[in-house]
Amino acid sequence: MSMRRRRPTAALAALLTLAFNVHPHADTYAELRARAAGYAYNLDHQQAIDLLRQAVAAAPDNAANHRALASSIWLEILFLRGAVTVDHYLGSFSRSQADLPKPPANLDAEFKREVSAAVDLAQKRVDASPDDPDAHFALGTALGLRASYMASVEGSLLAGFRAARRSYDEEEHVLKLDPSRKDAGLIVGTYRYVVSTLSLPMRLMAYVAGFGGGKERGLRLIEETAAASGENRTEAQFALVLLYNREKQYDDAARVLGDLHRRFPRNRLVLLEAGATALRASKASDAERLLTEGIGMFESDNRDKIPGEAALWHYKRGAARVALGRRDDALSDLRIASVTDAPRWIEGRAHVELARLASVAGDRDRVRAEVQRAVDLCERGNDPICVNDAKRIR
């Protein structure tokens, strides 16, 4: 997801990236953008990008087209890095981010060009109509996308946090102008949730900077966005999958994932998240079933894969089979997951599960060896959750 995995503790960046690809009002290109979103959320990123490039060429003064194109490019960059699963964003929001590989230069340049066009066009509209909630909404979402990129791709958490302030202010203003505007709740709710999870010093700094907090209120705003029929319903749903997993509301996460799977049946990663969520909920049988179905999709899908995807699928199913006591089947999966070209965090977590198997068998020497291997790999892979799991076994 072999690219180095960034720290799960850099989840602040992840949440800053959740409010994207939303459109302020209906126009002649809204249906085209909806088609592009369908491509993107079925993992057909290039088709989405190609379609939106056509839209931008045909309507260069349409801010929503520029923003949608920038969003699809950003999704493609995250996919190429493999940073698209809940596992990447669980943990504390306050620690520093690991070094990340640079994005492809052509995509980086195109993203910055398109998001700047979206911001500039939206700003002109705000200047012309300062009391228009749609204008402020367009500006807030474009600014939020720029902040998201700084945090998640460039690794500039502080710069991204500062840039997010304007986005938050614009969306808060939208809610003041039109309280029924549920779309604005995605960005406002996301940032409120993020702030509520920060350490006290950082939380105070966020309050001074002008951000509001409140975990429950933040979640409620995102839930209202997901329940509405706006074009950013999908973004809110993906945000809730992460937040519900963080809050251990696994049944709620599973419900949202079920709807996403029905809407985007070609997105095999939705099944991966459904299986992973079931595993966190200690529903190993459900997890094994979902992951087996997903592995079948993975093996028959000739499209691009995220780095280490095969190892990730088999690590997850191997963990489910360990929980079910199916030793031989688990070993088969975990051997695939612990190959040398897998990302370190996946390989390390596979060795945690191998340590569990050794513990059940009463092989203390093997337990010690597997735990040490897991700790070494997970420390190098910036995965403190894995390190703690391994040490608990030891």
The CA distance from 383 to 380, in Å, is: 8
Q: What is the pLDDT of residue 95?
A: 40
Q: Which comes out higher in pLDDT, residue 93 or 368?
A: 368
Taking 80 as the threshold, does the pLDDT of residue 226 lie above it? yes
Taking 80 as the threshold, does the pLDDT of residue 183 lie above it? yes
Domains and CATH numbers, the chain: 8-233 (no CATH), 268-393 (1.25.40.10)
The terminus-to-terminus CA distance of the chain in angstroms comes to 27
pLDDT tens column, 7-36: 333 333 333 343 333 333 446 888 899 999
| pLDDT band, very low/low/confident/very high, at 88 (cuts 50, 70, 90) | confident
pLDDT tens column, 128-140: 999 999 999 999 9
pLDDT tens column, 239-276: 999 999 999 999 999 999 999 999 999 999 999 999 99
Judge whether 19 and 172 are in contact, CB under 8 Å: no
The CA distance from 329 to 310, in Å, is: 16
Q: What is the pLDDT of residue 311?
A: 96
Q: Which comes out higher in pLDDT, residue 58 or 229?
A: 58
Average pLDDT taken over every residue of the chain: 87
Taking 60 as the threshold, does the pLDDT of residue 97 lie above it? no
| pLDDT band, very low/low/confident/very high, at 212 (cuts 50, 70, 90) | low
Q: What is the pLDDT of residue 163?
A: 76
The CA distance from 190 to 213, in Å, is: 10
Judge whether 336 and 371 are in contact, CB under 8 Å: no
Beta-carbon neighbour count of residue 373 at 10 Å?
19
Q: What is the pLDDT of residue 382?
A: 86
Q: What is the pLDDT of residue 370?
A: 96
Q: What is the pLDDT of residue 202?
A: 63
Pure H helices in 301-326: 309-324
Q: Which of 141, 147, 135, 119 has its CA nearest to residue 209?
A: 147
Taking 60 as the threshold, does the pLDDT of residue 224 lie above it? yes
Residues in CB range of 70: below 8 A, 6 or more apart: 111, 114, 115, 118, 145
Residues in CB range of 187: below 8 A, 6 or more apart: 19, 140, 141, 144, 167, 168, 171
Model confidence, pTM:
0.87
In the chain, the amino acid numbered 85 is T
Residue 364, classified by CB atoms within 10 Å of its CB into exposed (0-12), middle (13-18) or buried (19+), is exposed
Q: What is the pLDDT of residue 219?
A: 93
Residues in CB range of 11: below 8 A, 6 or more apart: 88, 89, 90, 91, 92, 93
In the chain, the amino acid numbered 367 is V
Report the pLDDT averaged over residues 274-279: 98
In the chain, the amino acid numbered 107 is L
Q: What is the pLDDT of residue 27?
A: 62
Tokens of residue 384, six digits: 């403190």
Q: What is the pLDDT of residue 79?
A: 94
Tokens of residue 307, six digits: 């780095």
Query: Measured in whole angstroms, how far is the alpha carbon of residue 217 from the centre of its chain?
Result: 21
Report the pLDDT averaged over residues 140-148: 93
Q: Which comes out higher in pLDDT, residue 5 or 116?
A: 116
Q: Which of 37, 30, 35, 31 has its CA nearest to residue 63?
A: 30
Report the pLDDT averaged over residues 155-162: 70
| pLDDT band, very low/low/confident/very high, at 164 (cuts 50, 70, 90) | confident
| pLDDT band, very low/low/confident/very high, at 210 (cuts 50, 70, 90) | low
Tokens of residue 385, six digits: 């959750």
Q: What is the pLDDT of residue 215?
A: 86
Beta-carbon neighbour count of residue 248 at 10 Å?
11
Taking 80 as the threshold, does the pLDDT of residue 92 lie above it? no
pLDDT tens column, 298-307: 999 999 999 9
pLDDT tens column, 313-348: 999 999 999 999 999 999 999 999 988 678 899 999
| pLDDT band, very low/low/confident/very high, at 232 (cuts 50, 70, 90) | confident
